[in-house]
């Protein structure tokens, strides 16, 4: 059986180092792109099984834009997307203490940084399982 | 796949959509520093800041005031012989310093920006009296009195708003903002 | 009558009310109707770009979309509003992903923007749409003997928009001469007034204002003409602070070019909001 392929699009090198090593220890193959443009290009050419996506990158909340673009692309929309974001920390001054609004995020699951390693692996496994089931239908 | 980015690559990732050339193309000619009307008040000139970013001197870059002293006059941008949009790069480092909270406490710029953005996100319009406290705290008593005197004169001339303005379709406006930054407002 | 969607911006609501009135009235006299945008919002100034540029573009796009809905090009009298509107319009036209994303947000206010309009600064309307010759022909009260320092500031000319002369523009001088006044040689006419640094880096900004005022005095100007509310407030309202800080004795009136233009076309001082300055312009006007 081939290794399950994951892509991370996140601009924070230290954070990426952390989750990449957690995922690799769990025997996933992990690629990384550090900006939305490289990320989308990789996604289009790479046959990934799951995407881990940051929000605040480049000009601003670009992760939302990427998620929306994936959702509109018939070739990509079946890839499960897990958003992992520190947005509430990064622009906490704007909406102090307020939650992320699920209705405006075309995504499968959202986790907020910092993420517990065990929880992360559970979520990734569950999303992959779900996608597999959907494909089998 | 991509190796772990250095600090200069982190900044270029923030500038991935910029219309100027990469900071790496800087030839250190100093046209920006010679042009910049605020350079003498910056602790590092624009040319040095770009050199420091390219040399990955992350801590030195983040603790300097240069980008928060940029007045957005774009004179460096239009004169740069390497075609770098230097003012846009200053914005990128500002974003970095706000998102990572690395700015030093004695700067007024970051708090001012945050308050300004907050005011608009809530009302759709800016309102000077709400902004005043963000910069008054850094002033001595003489400056505060000057500021108060000026505000009074402006008020007498009908040039100072007494009440904050608000747009009419504010709910729609807030919905619009949530579609870009999906935080807040959830039931 | 030519018609434009007019986006006054937050400053013109109060601090620069005289710019607002003088723009609308003067334009009307020259056959241009400025129809104020309905329910416009703040363009985000420079500060939104410090936090999230996508959000900044969205705020601007709401105003652009309303102008487009009215089928009109957008005109802004504030240089910062103009720069933001100009480049947001350009970037949305160039980048379909950005356009799609912003349009999704605009749906929240039942709007859409298709990039079908152009954006102008108000001084361009007078210079390009009306034309200097036409203005010259309509001047009834030439401002003879008045020495004006035409102050371009930054964002009308920068960043580069489209092949304009960045280092040596002359349209402002031509406009001043058309009013019958004398445009003095003002070397610092393109130098920054400090913008919002007046609030965030006060000493630096006051020194920038001081240099500009000194340069205007050295140029022999009676009055500085501006085309931006931020420039006007920094150069005029902060003169007292500059004098306090540096021991100078500046008393240089700073007027909107539309006020001077209005005077030359015969509008009354009162109508043009002359008298609401902190440094009175009356002594230098006949």
**Interface pTM (ipTM) of the complex?**
0.95
Q: How far apart are alpha carbons A61 and A104 in whole angstroms? A: 12
Type and span of the H or E element at C147: strand C147-150
Contact A85, A39 (CB under 8 A): no
User: Residue B41's pLDDT band (boundaries 50, 70, 90)?
Assistant: very high
Tell me which H or E stretch contains A101.
none
Task: Report whether CATH 3.40.50.300 matches the domain B8-99.
Answer: no
Instruction: Residue C45: list chain B partners with CB under 8 A.
Output: 116, 126
Inter-chain CB proximity C101 and A68 less than 8 Å: yes
Quick one: pLDDT at residue B186?
56
Tokens found for residue C112: 């859409």
Predicted pLDDT of residue C44? 86
Cα dihedral across residues C131, C151, B110, A53: positive or negative = positive
CB contacts of B103 in chain A (<8 Å) are none
Domain extents in chain A: 5-90+101-136
Residue C159: is the preceding peptide bond cis (ω within 30°)?
yes
Please check whether residue C51 touches A, CB under 8 A.
yes
| Strand (E) or helix (H) holding A81 | strand A81-85
B182 versus C137: the higher-pLDDT residue is C137
Cα separations in angstroms, C93 against A112, B8, C115: 34, 30, 5
Cα–Cα distance, C236 to C250 (Å, whole number): 10
> What residues of C are in contact with residue A65 (Cβ under 8 Å)?
54, 97-98, 101
Rounded to 5 degrees, φ, ψ at C240 are -60, -45
pLDDT bin (cut points 50, 70, 90) of residue B187 is very low
**How many Cβ contacts (< 8 angstroms) between chains B and C?**
186
Specify the pLDDT at position C124.
97
Spell out the domain ranges in chain B.
8-99, 109-180
Consecutive H or E run containing C119? strand C119-121
Which range is least confidently modeled, A68-72, B111-115, C105-109?
Answer: B111-115
Helix locations, C70-201, DSSP H: 79-94, 96-106, 122-124, 132-138, 171-178, 197-200
Task: For residue A61, give the nearest of B2, B118, B181 by CB distance.
Answer: B181
Percent of chain C with pLDDT over 70: 100
Return the residue of C nearest to B87 by Cα. C159
β-sheet bridge partners, residue A50? A6
Q: Which of C54, C100, C104 sits opposite A59 (nearest CB)?
A: C54
B125 neighbourhood in chain C, CB within 8 Å:
10, 13, 41-42
Mean pLDDT over residues C197-210, rounded?
Answer: 95
Mean pLDDT lowest among A32-46, B24-38, B116-130, C98-112: B116-130
pLDDT confidence tier of residue B1, bands split at 50, 70 and 90:
low
C48: pLDDT strictly greater than 90: no
Instruction: Report pLDDT for C171.
Output: 97
Q: What pLDDT is attached to residue A61? A: 96
pLDDT, averaged across chain C: 96
How far apart are the C-alpha atoms of C137 and C134, rounded to whole Å? Answer: 5
Domains and CATH numbers, chain C: 2-121 (1.20.1050.140), 140-284 (3.40.50.11810)
pTM: 0.95
Residue C142 pLDDT:
98
Q: Which among B69, B131, B157 has the least Cβ separation from residue C199?
A: B131
CATH homologous superfamily of A5-90+101-136 equals Response regulator (3.40.50.2300)
Please return the burial class of B163, using the count of CB atoms within 10 Å of its CB with bins 0-12, 13-18 and 19+.
exposed
Nearest-Cα residue of chain B relative to residue A29: B1
- Whether residue B138 is predicted with pLDDT greater than 80 in this model: the reply is no
Mean pLDDT score across all residues of chain B:
91
- C166 contact residues in B (CB cutoff 8 A): 78
Question: Helix, strand, or coil here: C169?
Answer: coil
- Report, as ranges of residue numbers, the positions in chain A whose pLDDT lies below 70: 1
Q: Average pLDDT, stretch B151-174?
A: 88
Nearest to C28 by CA among C257, C269, C265: C265
């Amino acid at each position: 059986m081939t290794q399950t392929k994951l892509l991370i699009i996140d601009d924070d090198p230290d954070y990426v180092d952390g989750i990449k090593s957690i995922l690799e220890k769990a025997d996933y193959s992990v690629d990384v792109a550090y900006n939305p443009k490289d990320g989308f290009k990789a996604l289009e050419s790479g046959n990934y099984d799951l995407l881990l996506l940051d929000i605040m990158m480049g000009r601003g909340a670009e992760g939302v834009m990427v998620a929306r673009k994936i959702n509109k692309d018939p070739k990509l929309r079946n890839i499960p997307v897990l958003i992992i974001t520190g947005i509430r920390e990064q622009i906490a001054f704007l909406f102090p203490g307020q939650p992320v609004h699920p209705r405006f995020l075309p995504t499968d699951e959202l986790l907020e940084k910092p993420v517990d390693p065990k929880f992360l692996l559970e979520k990734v496994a569950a999303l992959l399982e779900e996608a597999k089931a959907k494909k089998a239908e | 796949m991509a190796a772990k980015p250095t600090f200069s690559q982190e900044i270029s990732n923030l500038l991935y959509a910029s219309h100027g050339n990469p900071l790496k193309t800087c030839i250190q000619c100093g046209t920006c520093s010679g042009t910049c009307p605020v350079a003498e008040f910056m602790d590092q000139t624009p040319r040095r800041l770009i050199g420091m970013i390219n040399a990955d001197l992350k801590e030195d870059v983040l603790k300097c005031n240069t980008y928060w002293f940029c007045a957005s006059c774009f004179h460096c941008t239009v004169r740069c012989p390497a075609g770098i949009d230097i003012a846009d790069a200053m914005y990128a480092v500002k974003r970095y310093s706000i998102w990572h909270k690395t700015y030093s406490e004695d700067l007024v710029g970051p708090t001012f920006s945050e308050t300004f953005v907050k005011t608009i996100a809530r009302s759709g319009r800016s309102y000077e009296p709400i902004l005043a406290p963000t910069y008054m705290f850094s002033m001595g008593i003489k400056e505060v009195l000057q500021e108060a005197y000026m505000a009074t004169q402006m008020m007498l001339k009908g040039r100072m708003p007494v009440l904050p303005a608000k747009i009419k379709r504010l709910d729609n406006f807030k919905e619009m903002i949530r579609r870009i930054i999906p935080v807040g407002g959830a039931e | 009558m030519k018609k434009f969607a007019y986006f006054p911006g937050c400053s013109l609501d109060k601090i620069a009310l005289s710019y607002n009135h003088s723009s609308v009235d003067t334009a009307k006299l020259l056959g241009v109707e400025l129809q104020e945008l309905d329910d416009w919002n703040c363009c985000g100034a420079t500060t939104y770009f410090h936090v999230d540029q996508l959000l900044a573009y969205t705020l601007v796009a709401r105003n652009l979309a309303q102008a487009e809905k009215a089928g009109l090009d957008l005109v802004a009298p504030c240089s910062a509003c103009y720069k933001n509107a100009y480049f947001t319009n350009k970037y949305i036209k160039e980048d379909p992903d950005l356009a799609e994303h912003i349009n999704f947000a605009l749906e929240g206010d039942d709007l859409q923007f298709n990039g079908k309009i152009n954006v102008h600064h108000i001084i361009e309307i007078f210079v390009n749409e009306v034309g200097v010759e036409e203005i010259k022909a309509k001047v009834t009260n030439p401002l003879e003997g008045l020495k004006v320092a035409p102050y371009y500031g930054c964002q009308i000319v920068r960043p580069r928009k489209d092949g304009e002369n960045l280092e040596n523009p002359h349209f402002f001088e031509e406009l001043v001469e058309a009013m019958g006044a004398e445009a003095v040689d003002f070397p610092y006419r393109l130098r920054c007034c400090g913008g919002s640094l007046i609030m965030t880096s006060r000493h630096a900004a006051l020194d920038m204002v001081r240099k500009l005022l000194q340069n205007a005095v050295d140029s022999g100007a009676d009055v500085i003409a501006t085309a931006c509310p931020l420039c006007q407030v920094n150069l005029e309202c902060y003169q007292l602070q500059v004098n306090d800080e540096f021991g100078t004795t500046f008393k240089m009136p700073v007027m909107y070019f539309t006020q001077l233009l209005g005077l030359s076309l015969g509008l009354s001082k009162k109508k043009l909001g002359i008298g609401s300055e902190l440094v009175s312009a009356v002594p230098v006007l006949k």
